[in-house]
């Protein structure tokens, strides 16, 4: 034991009011010094996504005390902005994970102790509904207790700003300073929930928020011009034990979809996510049960959401009768083209419309947007940057937002929220399915038509887990080498453009020019090749991994898949570790 973390351990063990469950967990770790040290070696990281980690005792875990300290940091930040901010208050939501409601109530009690008004959801709530609530209520900030699609042993504390978007890096830094000033996590002061309710500082949010949210979506809907005659759209939906059951079933009903089958084994909230190995709709196995249902009812569309309801996965029927799980880029292309074509048909497409996507999202979106006369603006990876850019254009009037998406199954159509939204994406992809079915096509057929029109774009992601300091050092060394001696050729193709997001420079090799990038600086490199293929390398912001994104364009699916496999292998070789 080093003295530093041993002191923290002793402080926790001798704290008279330590939660009994956490005390028992600490006792059980006496014979596991490595885990015990990790629990106390350093405070849990707090960034633009708030904090996320494993549940358990210690300052490097998610527990009653680290959550209280985060809430105290937010409380001090709110009070520093004055009485108006305190009265506007903080909206709090939570998902279906272990301890989520407990942590939500504890956060409310801490904020209430500081005299800050709290709007607490009275049931499980999807993250996008929290974003909507912050904007709808005029709250100063928002909290979601969630770990998104991480494994069951994780939870987290996610903070939103007054615009309904995830906090910026500058705000995260200020919150961290306030957390540090809040002092000992074991001695954070809290109020009593019943007393806060009696005083009016704590109020519950219920049906009225979901109703208002769905009404806003309905106003922004452009229904398909023709509905399927005599053959309704059949939908299978699974919330994967998460938060979206009520929102999506009510939403589909409000949009007129009556033939919806919910996967009963995955309908109820379950913090252990017992029927899936991972509750992540990006992964095909998450659809196993839903596709069984789809085959039984002859579904046209299969929908799956992650636990906190911000990511939507989609599977569609293949002409040969099986079901195909779409990538986030494919679903994004279908949604984008449907929305723009319907707006164009109805005369609602603005001349200064813009599509927002991340630097690692398919270039197919840019091709579709351009076909409709719209601009495309890239952001850094992370939907907070899309939300931030949306807000900027709203203020300046430079562009009118039409659609935002990222390759990891995150989409935003109606700007009533400032984050990716699986609920609205589910409703609008149902409309797209109905539109194509009325014209004799499946969504799979529609995707093939888009490929025929715009080119066969294919993308993939490969993540390398860094095990041990030597592996991470090798990857850091490779990134450093690429910056000092940039690639000129890979996979038989010449490099045309290099974008270094750490230095903020874009170098066009063919033209011999260097421009400044307008994005915030981050540790990432992107290479565009002379055949329009590209790859991007960036360290993960939440895990000890390096992420390698690749994208290609071909004249057929077969050619595109071959190019993708070749480029992916070549890029992977750059980062082979000992």
Pick from 126, 54, 135, 122: which is nearest to 96 by CA?
A: 126
3-state secondary structure of 460: strand
| Given 96, 131, 148, 533, the catalytic residue | 148
Which string of DSSP letters, residue by residue, matches 158-171?
Answer: EEE-TTSSBPPHHH
Q: Measured at the alpha carbon of residue 136, what is the angle toward residues 135 and 139, in degrees to the nearest 5?
A: 55
Q: Catalytic site residue 540?
A: no
Query: What torsion do the CA atoms of 15, 17, 20, 25 make, to the nearest 10 degrees?
Result: -20
Answer positive or negative: Cα dihedral of 395, 205, 310, 78.
positive
CA dist., res. 169 & res. 50, Å (int):
10
Task: Take residue 42 and report the two structure tokens written for it.
Answer: 């350093």
220's torsion region: left (phi>0), alpha (psi -120 to 50) or beta? alpha
- HEC assignment per residue over 63-81: CHHHHHHHHHHHHHHHHCC
Neighbour-count burial for 228-248, b at 16+ CB within 10 Å, e otherwise? beeeebbbbbbbbbbbbbbbb
Nearest-Å Rg of the Cα atoms of the chain is 24
CA dist., res. 222 & res. 18, Å (int):
55
Q: With beta carbons less than 8 A apart as the criterion, state whether 300 and 433 touch.
A: yes
CA dist., res. 517 & res. 505, Å (int):
5
Pick from 459, 452, 479: which is nearest to 533 by CA?
A: 459
Pick from 336, 353, 340: which is nearest to 400 by CA?
A: 353
Q: Measured at the alpha carbon of residue 486, what is the angle toward residues 482 and 492, in degrees to the nearest 5?
A: 105
Answer positive or negative: Cα dihedral of 223, 225, 230, 232.
negative
Burial class of residue 346, CB neighbours in 10 A (0-12, 13-18, 19+): exposed
Q: With beta carbons less than 8 A apart as the criterion, state whether 457 and 163 touch.
A: no
Pick from 300, 397, 302, 400: which is nearest to 350 by CA?
A: 400
Residue 395 main-chain phi, psi, to 5 deg: -75, -40
Q: C-alpha 506: how far from its chain's center?
A: 27
- Beta-bridged to residue 166, according to DSSP, are 160
**Active centre residues (catalytic):** 148
């Amino acid at each position: 034991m080093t003295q530093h973390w041993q002191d923290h351990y002793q402080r926790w063990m001798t704290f008279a009011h330590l939660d009994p469950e956490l005390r028992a967990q600490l006792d059980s770790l006496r014979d596991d010094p490595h885990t015990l040290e990790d629990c106390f070696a350093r405070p849990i990281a707090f960034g633009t996504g708030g904090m996320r980690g494993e549940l358990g005792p210690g300052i490097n875990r998610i527990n009653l005390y680290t959550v209280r300290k985060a809430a105290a940091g937010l409380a001090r930040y709110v009070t520093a902005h004055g009485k108006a901010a305190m009265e506007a208050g903080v909206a709090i939501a939570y998902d279906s994970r272990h301890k989520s409601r407990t942590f939500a109530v504890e956060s409310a009690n801490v904020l209430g102790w500081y005299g800050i008004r709290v709007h607490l959801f009275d049931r499980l709530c999807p993250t996008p509904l929290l974003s909507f609530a912050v904007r709808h209520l005029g709250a100063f900030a928002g909290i979601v207790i969630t770990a998104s699609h991480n494994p069951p042993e994780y939870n987290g504390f996610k903070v939103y700003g007054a615009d309904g978007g995830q906090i910026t890096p500058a705000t995260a830094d200020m919150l961290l300073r306030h957390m540090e000033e809040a002092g000992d996590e074991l001695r954070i002061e809290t109020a009593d929930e019943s007393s806060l309710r009696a005083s009016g500082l704590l109020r519950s949010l219920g049906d009225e928020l979901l109703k208002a949210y769905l009404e806003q979506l309905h106003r922004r809907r452009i229904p398909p011009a023709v509905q399927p005659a005599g053959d309704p759209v059949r939908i299978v939906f699974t919330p994967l034990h998460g938060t979206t059951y009520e929102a999506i079933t009510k939403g589909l009903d409000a949009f007129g979809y009556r033939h919806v089958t919910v996967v009963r084994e995955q309908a109820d909230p379950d913090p252990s996510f017992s029927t899936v190995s991972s509750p992540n709709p990006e992964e095909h196995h998450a659809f196993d049960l839903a596709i069984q249902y789809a085959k039984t009812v002859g579904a046209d569309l299969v929908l799956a959401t992650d636990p906190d309801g911000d990511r939507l996965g989609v599977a569609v029927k293949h002409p040969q009768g099986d079901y195909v799980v779409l990538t986030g880029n494919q679903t994004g292309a279908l949604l984008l083209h449907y929305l723009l074509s319907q707006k164009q048909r109805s005369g609602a497409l603005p001349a200064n419309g813009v599509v927002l996507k991340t630097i690692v999202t398919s270039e197919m979106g840019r091709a579709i947007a351009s076909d409709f006369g719209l601009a495309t603006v890239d952001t850094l990876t992370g939907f907070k940057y899309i939300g931030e850019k949306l807000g900027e254009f709203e203020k300046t009037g430079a562009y009118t937002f039409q659609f935002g998406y990222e390759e990891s199954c995150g989409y935003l159509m109606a700007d009533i929220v400032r984050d990716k939204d699986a609920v609205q994406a589910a409703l609008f992809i149902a409309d797209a399915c109905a539109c194509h079915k009325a014209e004799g096509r499946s969504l799979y057929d529609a995707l093939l038509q888009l490929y025929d029109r715009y080119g066969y774009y294919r993308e993939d992601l490969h993540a390398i887990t860094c095990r041990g300091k030597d592996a991470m050092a090798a990857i850091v060394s490779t990134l450093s080498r690429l910056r000092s001696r940039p690639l000129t050729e890979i996979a038989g193709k010449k490099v045309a453009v290099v974008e270094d997001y750490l230095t903020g420079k874009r170098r066009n090799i063919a033209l011999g020019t260097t421009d400044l990038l307008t994005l915030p600086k981050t540790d990432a490199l992107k290479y565009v090749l002379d055949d329009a293929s590209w790859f991007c390398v960036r360290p993960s912001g939440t895990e000890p991994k390096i992420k390698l994104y690749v994208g290609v364009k071909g004249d057929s699916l077969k050619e595109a898949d071959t190019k993708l496999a070749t480029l992916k292998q070549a890029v992977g070789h750059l980062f082979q570790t000992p």
